[in-house]
Amino acid sequence: MDASADAVTPEMIARCERLIRPFIRRTPIVEVDGAEFGLPGHMLTLKLELLQHSGSFKARGAFANLLTRDVPKAGVVAASGGNHGAAVAYAAMKLGKPAKIFVPGICSPAKVEHIKGYGADLTIGGDRYADALAASETWVQQTGALPVHAFDQNETIMGQGTLGLELAGQAPEIDTLLVSVGGGGLISGLAAWYAGRIKVVGVEPFAAPTLTRAFEAGHPVDAEAGGLAADSLAPRRVGERVFPIVWKYARQTVLVTDGAIAETQATLWRALRIVAEPGGAAALAAILSGAYRPAAGERVAVIVCGGNTDVVDFSRAR
């Protein structure tokens, strides 16, 4: 498949959105006075994609793959830190296709239960996403199942880009969009949709700076892969198809600490009664921690991209 900045276009995303629309939710936005978060003088738009089917934005890419590619009798297979696996399992269940999911041992119990609940055949093994990916590749060779990559697949990127199309209709006035980054499927989809019309900024944990390291090197490279959000934001490197898109349209990242992510989870609960997983809270953590400082009058939107977490004791953030 094409690995270029123009491999996924706004026109392709718009066609994809029409195809998957019957299967996905139009998730809401909420306008928040920044003073509630200690940021007087700023209004924030939060896109609550954690309310999407399967608990994260990943359902968009999953349906894009299953509806635009030929699924063999052996079904589909996916490697995941958890959210992508849950999304593929959900899409396969809705479309009546077999699904095999591989996740590493760091996958949260909440995500494991989601995958099992959607009826997929689940295998847990290895320490990180890379281990699950290797196991899924072996499964493809053995069975002929269709691999559905979590981020480095044009169909996946197109599906995630539909979030941008949706947000553009809900909040057409925004100047800047902050988005958590793991492998880069979401940020590349959003960047492909907006195509430079607004500023798209990637937010990563210091413990898993995959896109930051890629920007420093000028191409995808191995990076650290750990931290509080390791089950969703810690692949070894960003995707080869992802990189040209973000290099052209979204060449800025900021880094946040695990402590800032945990505190943002707590703040979301206190202020809005929203329970976000660490990866889902990372983008907002950039603003709340001061890692990203909006200019006067800058209209900022933030994707709260996932909510698949177990009951959390927020006292650790105090």
16 with 141, same domain: the answer is no
Provide the number of structural domains found in the chain. Answer: 2
Strand-pairing partners, residue 43, are 33
Over the stretch 209-238, which tens digit does the pLDDT of each residue have? 999 999 999 999 988 888 876 666 667 889
**Element housing 59 (H / E):** helix 58-68
224 with 305, same domain: the answer is yes
For residue 200, what is the domain's CATH number?
A: 3.40.50.1100
- At residue 311, does pLDDT exceed 60? no
CB within 8 A of 114, min separation 6: which ones?
Answer: 54, 55, 82, 86, 89, 90, 308
DSSP string for residues in 70-81? PPPTT-EEEE-S
Residue 157 lies in a domain: yes
**What span, in angstroms and rounded, lies between the C-alpha atoms of 54 and 190?**
20
Query: Phi/psi of residue 300, each to 5°?
Result: -110, 135
22 with 93, same domain: the answer is no
191 with 99, same domain: the answer is no
158 with 33, same domain: the answer is yes
159 with 265, same domain: the answer is yes
**What span, in angstroms and rounded, lies between the C-alpha atoms of 74 and 85?**
17
Is the Cβ–Cβ distance between 110 and 131 less than 8 Å? no
Domain closes at, from 147, 177, 195: 147
Residue 279 lies in a domain: yes
Distances in Å between the alpha carbon of 20 and those of 14, 283, 300, 307? 10, 26, 27, 21
In this predicted structure, what is the pLDDT of residue 1?
57
Domain closes at, from 120, 147, 174: 147
Domain that holds residue 178: 10-57+153-317
Residue 3 lies in a domain: no
What mean pLDDT, rounded, does the chain reach? 91
In this predicted structure, what is the pLDDT of residue 225?
81
161 with 138, same domain: the answer is no
In this predicted structure, what is the pLDDT of residue 133?
85
86 with 162, same domain: the answer is no
Would residue 30 be called left, alpha or beta, if left means φ above 0 and alpha means ψ between -120 and 50 degrees? beta
Residue 215 lies in a domain: yes
In this predicted structure, what is the pLDDT of residue 22?
97
In this predicted structure, what is the pLDDT of residue 141?
94
* 238 burial level (CB within 10 Å; 0-12, 13-18, 19+): buried
In this predicted structure, what is the pLDDT of residue 232?
63
174 with 138, same domain: the answer is no
Over the stretch 228-266, which tens digit does the pLDDT of each residue have? 766 666 678 899 999 999 999 999 999 999 999 999 999
- At residue 290, does pLDDT exceed 70? yes
Q: What is the CA radius of gyration of the chain?
A: 18
165 with 250, same domain: the answer is yes
pTM for the whole thing? Answer: 0.93
Residue 52 lies in a domain: yes
In this predicted structure, what is the pLDDT of residue 114?
85
Domain closes at, from 83, 114, 147: 147
Residue appearing with tokens 């925004």? 174
pLDDT tier at 58 (50, 70, 90 boundaries)? very high
CB within 8 A of 243, min separation 6: which ones?
Answer: 3, 184, 214, 219, 220
Residue 1 lies in a domain: no
Residue 163 lies in a domain: yes
Residue 4 lies in a domain: no
**What span, in angstroms and rounded, lies between the C-alpha atoms of 252 and 181?**
11
132 with 199, same domain: the answer is no
The candidate with the shortest Cα–Cα distance to 76, out of 129, 124, 120, is: 120
297 with 209, same domain: the answer is yes
Over the stretch 179-202, which tens digit does the pLDDT of each residue have? 999 999 999 999 999 999 999 999
**Percentage of residues of the chain with pLDDT beyond 90:** 74
Distances in Å between the alpha carbon of 233 and those of 80, 280, 295? 11, 9, 27
